[in-house]
Chain A
């Protein structure tokens, strides 16, 4: 805490924001780069892109949304949101991976 009197706000130095911004840009370049890797459109490609996206989201949540400097209650809520998102992805993808696909003309 920079300010001993106010326990509710945490002043983050501009430098940290800039560093996070640069990190996000680097990750963006990494995403684009990964898309040009040989073996285009493979499962691995999706995994890399999603992993980088999660890293970016974590940076935004921790620094830009100030969760890093918040109470444990806020941590709980932020993780609950992620947990819910994971449920949505797992159950929906569970359907996708096991579905009996009906071919659509032009999209086989």
Chain B
């Protein structure tokens, strides 16, 4: 395989300059351009969800509801949840980094179904805009979980419209999932056997399995809520002969695995970054690969732990509690193997690596607090308190955002051909980590003390903890805004990256930065294991990793 090197001053053809009209972007079938479209759109939706979060924390600064009415508060936290989960956390890594990298990493020219890929972006945008439209047209006040009978019989807000938005976004992710599965099965480069695949690919494969098998269930379930609401058919409302716990079974059958849709791709990013910046092959590669698949499978068996206090059978609760503990096994396998990978590695604390260290800390805290919630007895005390809010923010938000930002920084040189400024990127990582912990750690204490979620009035003695949490949000806001500025700045002013600025292994580093439209000039042939860092000369890697690195060994 050849890497065509540009002569000084020569502008090489790449996917970014292959056409600069709006039309060439909106009708593109190039997976890399679609990834950029997703990057812009998920960033916008993240900003919307983030502003709603700021409003929530501003309201909670004082024990009284003095910024908005209870009804408006319900609408704000519901839309924060809907926007962040359906429009940011679920698509962020698969749709942006996955779209960009899956074909590059398997040595393919594009995804298996390029037009389906473009359609998935349009369907996503349609769903997102419908949900946004519902928000400005009165909003929705049911909580992002849309529990009936409130959502189907009593709420007067825009439930149906929001459900249609979520339904569409679900289909967008099904399209992406199908595309990844077929691409990974059918389009791997010669020599790229299953156990030579990067762990990022394994993680995306497991994620796609969950998406394809789980998402249709929630889509139909939400549609049934809309049907009950519009036609008064008794499905979930007991007053009409339905069963509200059935809704929760169906809803969580998808929505618990959805947590793994958010976290598994992040875990894929972590494996890549840790291997690169420790200069070692991933410890226990096979175990890490299979743990992704195990998380996908076991993740489908645990949904009932969301329903311990709903009137679900106590026997079912016991089974779900036991099964929930099982998920800890493959999750721990990953964490231990990452730690073992770093052990005696030549660790470089670049910005992506800082995000990875942050991820490890947050994931461990989030995972261990999950055990309190998976235990029947302690869950009865903690159910629907801020403990739950803190737990799922640590896992889903901390895990996904830290993974996403690690990946975005790691592959930014590949996506744009430019380096980001290292110093300020490290500062942003530290600010986000500090802000995140200041925001959500006090919420564990609040929840333990009994602060219920979704309330905006609370006893005065809890104000201090709420003030800490709100102060953390301000810090977090600054941390999130910084990358937007310096990454945009780097597009014009960043140092030229070259094909492989980190000295990393993997097919995506063996083509130009930014890649040409067809990814590779010749089909690559794979002859070695993944992460064969030991085979490469250390000298070469150090030479390519120049700059403000603080190397510790």
Contact = CB atoms under 8 A, between A and B. Distances in A.
B185 A92 contact: no
A88 B245 CA distance: 14
Given A84-B300, A88-B253, A92-B249, A98 B315 contact: yes
A106 B304 CA distance: 28
Contacts of A84: 213-214, 300
Contact of B245 (A87, A91, A95, A107): A95
Contact of B313 (A87, A88, A94, A102): A94
B301 interface: yes
Interface residues of B, number: 25
A95 B304 contact: yes
Interface in B243-279: 245-246, 249-250, 253
B366 to A, nearest CB: 25
A45 to B, nearest CB: 19
A99 B310 CA distance: 11
B8 interface: no
Classify the secondary structure of B's interface with A. helix
Contacts of B239: 104
A41 interface: no
Given A95-B313, A99-B311, A100-B313, A87 B319 contact: no
Interface in B208-226: 209, 213-214, 217
B316 A98 contact: yes
A80 interface: yes
Contacts, number: 51
A39 B239 CA distance: 28
Given A94-B316, A102-B311, A81 B238 contact: no
A91 B301 contact: yes
B241 interface: yes
Given A73-B185, A95-B245, A95-B249, A88 B315 contact: no
Given A91-B320, A95-B313, 6 more contacts: A81-B213, A84-B214, A87-B300, A95-B245, A95-B312, A98-B315
B313 A99 contact: yes
A94 B213 contact: no
Interface size class of A (residues with CB under 8 A): 10 to 19
A84 B320 CA distance: 16
Interface string A73-108: 100000011001001100110111111101010010
Contacts of A73: 185
B254 to A, nearest CB: 10
Interface centre among A80, A92, A102 (most CB of B within 10 A): A92
Given A73-B185, A80-B213, A84-B213, A91 B311 contact: no
Contacts of A94: 313, 315-316, 319
Contacts of B312: 95, 99
B314 interface: yes
A62 B319 CA distance: 34
Contact of B304 (A91, A100, A107): A91
Contact of B241 (A81, A87, A92, A107): A107
Contacts of B316: 91, 94-95, 98-99
Interface string B125-156: 00000000000000000000000000000000
A102 B253 CA distance: 24
Given A98-B313, A99-B312, A100-B313, A92 B246 contact: yes
A87 B238 contact: no
